[in-house]
């Protein structure tokens, strides 16, 4: 349980800046390869999770291209909870980017122009106008990503296996309980926990989103 929360928390927190950047790029910039980037981001949504997990294993496993390099820096993903967080982040990323992109697209570009004429450089325009006005979508995207990260199973179990205390998140644990006779009771408890967490996340995103929207809507 605590492990699942930790995995989902770090997966969300660390992917958020990249999510905002990617969403902004897709919403506002034109650059060659935009559709390719869009496709890559959404790939985990349509690929079988097992495939995503296996690709992660190839890339970030100890003998993988990136994994070997990162291992030299002391960052190891394979069969660690950090790997579970990476898998969760990759799987949740498309949902996060979608929500944030929509909210950035909803920001009136004429307000960004007004900001520029008042002397704000593009970075300041983003920080003082785009970001605060897109905040409801960013919060919603982050909470959605958190809920998705909590529930990620396929890519996680493929990439980092199902090691008690290290990579056994709630879905992995439910799966493990269901593999042994008489594990149903324990599995049911975890199922209830999952449902509560997921519902809580959705409610929270709704409430925060509405409150932020009120503030941004300005009254």
**Does residue 120 bind other proteins (CB under 8 A)?**
yes
From candidates 62, 121, 179, 188, binder to other proteins by CB under 8 A: 121
From candidates 17, 33, 110, 185, binder to other proteins by CB under 8 A: 110
From candidates 43, 59, 128, 204, binder to other proteins by CB under 8 A: 128
Among the residue ranges 42-50, 88-96, 115-123, 162-170, the one whose residues contact other proteins (CB under 8 A): 115-123
**Does residue 208 bind other proteins (CB under 8 A)?**
no
97 closest CA partner among 151, 135, 142, 65: 142
| H or E segment and range at residue 68 | helix 65-72
**Smallest distance, other proteins to C-beta of residue 187, A:** 46
Contact between 89 and 149 (Cβ < 8 Å)? yes
From candidates 14, 48, 113, 195, binder to other proteins by CB under 8 A: 113
Residue 122 CB coordination number (10 Å): 12
- What is the C-alpha to C-alpha distance for residues 177 and 156, in angstroms, rounded to an integer? 17
Contact between 23 and 97 (Cβ < 8 Å)? yes
CB-count burial class (<10 Å; 0-12, 13-18, 19+) for 179? exposed
From candidates 39, 48, 68, 122, binder to other proteins by CB under 8 A: 122
**Does residue 69 bind other proteins (CB under 8 A)?**
no
Nearer to other proteins by Cβ, of 29 and 72: the residue is 29
**Does residue 30 bind other proteins (CB under 8 A)?**
no
The DSSP secondary structure of 25-54, one letter per residue, reads: HHHH---TTHHHHHHHHHHHHHS-HHHHHH
Contact between 74 and 122 (Cβ < 8 Å)? no
From candidates 111, 163, 180, 203, binder to other proteins by CB under 8 A: 111
**Smallest distance, other proteins to C-beta of residue 145, A:** 23
């Amino acid at each position: 349980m605590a492990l699942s929360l930790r995995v989902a928390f770090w997966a969300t927190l660390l992917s958020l800046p990249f999510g905002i950047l990617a969403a902004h790029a897709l919403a506002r910039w034109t650059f060659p390869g935009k559709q390719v980037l869009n496709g890559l981001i959404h790939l985990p949504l349509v690929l079988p999770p097992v495939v995503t997990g296996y690709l992660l294993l190839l890339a970030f496993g100890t003998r993988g291209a990136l994994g070997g390099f990162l291992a030299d820096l002391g960052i190891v993903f394979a069969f660690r909870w950090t790997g579970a967080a990476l898998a969760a982040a990759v799987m949740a990323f498309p949902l996060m980017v979608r929500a944030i992109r929509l909210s950035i697209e909803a920001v009136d570009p004429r307000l960004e122009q007004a900001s520029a004429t008042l002397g704000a450089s593009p970075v300041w325009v983003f920080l003082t106008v785009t970001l605060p006005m897109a905040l409801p979508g960013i919060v919603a995207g982050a909470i959605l990503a958190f809920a998705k990260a909590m529930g990620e199973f396929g890519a996680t179990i493929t990439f980092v296996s199902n090691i008690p205390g290290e990579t056994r998140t709630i879905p992995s644990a439910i799966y493990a309980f269901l593999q042994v006779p008489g594990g149903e009771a324990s599995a049911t408890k975890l199922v209830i926990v999952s449902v509560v967490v997921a519902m809580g996340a959705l409610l929270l995103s709704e409430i925060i989103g509405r409150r932020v929207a009120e503030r941004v809507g300005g009254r």
